[in-house]
Structure 1
Amino acid sequence: MQQITGNTRVYAIIADPIHHVQTPTAINRLFAARDDDRVMVPFHVKTQDLAGVVEGLRSIQSLDGFIVTVPHKTAMLELCDSVSEAARLVGAVNAVRRGPDGLLHGDILDGAGFVSGLRQKGIEPARRSVYLAGAGGAGKAIAFALAEAGISSLTIYNRSAAKAQALIERLAGVFPDVAFTVGTDNPAGHDLLINSTSLGLAPGDSLPFDVSGLVPEQIVAEIIMQPAITPLLAAAMTKGCRIHDGLPMLLCQIELMAAAMTCTGSELPHEHI
């Protein structure tokens, strides 16, 4: 890593837990490759402390932005002074730019990163039948991005069926050509199965959905990056399924994250202004 001085611009990633995050390594590698005097550090922040921490970050003059991940993405929306259209529609924020005046602008990059990661690995989501476990911040972003990518149908399974139904109602109003359904823990009949929950991060976590009926024709994807092979992916492998781990999503978000935290609004990629 390059030398850190009093002139170094600082960025953070906020999560609970924090041990699994790989974003700082990837972002710092990008900063070093560009010879940018910038550095990202991880912050372990509990839910009850998020608002206070964010308020404090506004006053750190050397801080230009931060990444927000599980479980803070939804709560972060209300803590920003302005948000992108994508963040407003999804109802969550995962990248925040701090202006010189301490004002915070939020964006959501999970969905775009996930879809780009699929395509990078040769998995085209268009016209596929998709099963999504989770309707939280990441799940919402991925659902919007998949619908925008042209999937044929999307079944959303969430422990709170009302939360899944609320997301579907928002999606249906924007994407009338996609068939949306509230699902159960049974992913049978779908081409692409996605876990957007945090289940699999901690040892002993239950599986996000029933894997007993998986067939080799199905693709099983994760957003969790550590461990690389989660219990869900391990179970899918035993069934002969193609698996897609969480790392491509991160790698495809890195440049978008860097842009969202370091650029002015006019310099951001058009779809995230």
Structure 2
Amino acid sequence: MAPGHMMPMVDMARMFAAFGAKVTIIITTMNALRIKNVIDRDVKLGRDIILEIISLPSTEVGLPEGCENVVSAPTPEMSIKLFHAIELLQPKIKKLFSDLHPDCIVSDSLCPWTLDIANELGIARIAFNGSGFFNLCLLENITLYEPHKSIESETETFVVPGLPHEVKLTRSQLPDIVKAKNKFSELFDKLRESQRKSFGVLMNSFYELEPGYADHCRNVLGIKAWHIGPVSLINRDTVDKVDR
């Protein structure tokens, strides 16, 4: 959907294949064009990785034909429609999962509905979070304690409680989905819940970068998570870096 989500997930999939796993990437038509060359090169190297390309029903939700990511859907209204179009893919994706019989489903944290499909088919679902442990812990504690609601000014600082370090923020620094309920905040609540109910979470991070927050995530928040990053290191060749 967004390059900041799609490219790390592709890097992760390629990394799995490089270690010998059989990998299928489910992707929409226009987005597949961006990664086809690098996947073709991996196949020539003998890696067991393929693209399963499906069409996104963009026009069914009022988007232009070929509008398949946030780059081509720059407004909040278009982004909501894009999320809806992706949700309409559930029957197709469920059939793919059923036909492929995967050992595990790794899906973007922004696709919480994949957990329901995985549970129905008896397959482990792991969420991918590309933001790191600090961001996850910060948002979890802001959502849990709501420290921003105790102040009125947008510029007054408050401390986010319960974190390994003292973190101060202002209301103006918070995203709208945290400050007020809207369609995006409803999606955010769903993805938080699905992350917790999934088999675990893969993080595009490494322990030495944020050890206190990796430990906090597992030991305090109780979220099973593994750091596998930075996944971009799979791009060793210049041509791979250029294609990104």
TM-score for the superposition, normalised by structure 2: 0.35
Per residue, is there more strand in 1 or in 2? Answer: 1
Per residue, is there more helix in 1 or in 2? Answer: 2
Larger relative contact order (Cα-Cα within 8 Å, sequence gap ≥ 6):
2
TM-score for the superposition, normalised by structure 1: 0.32
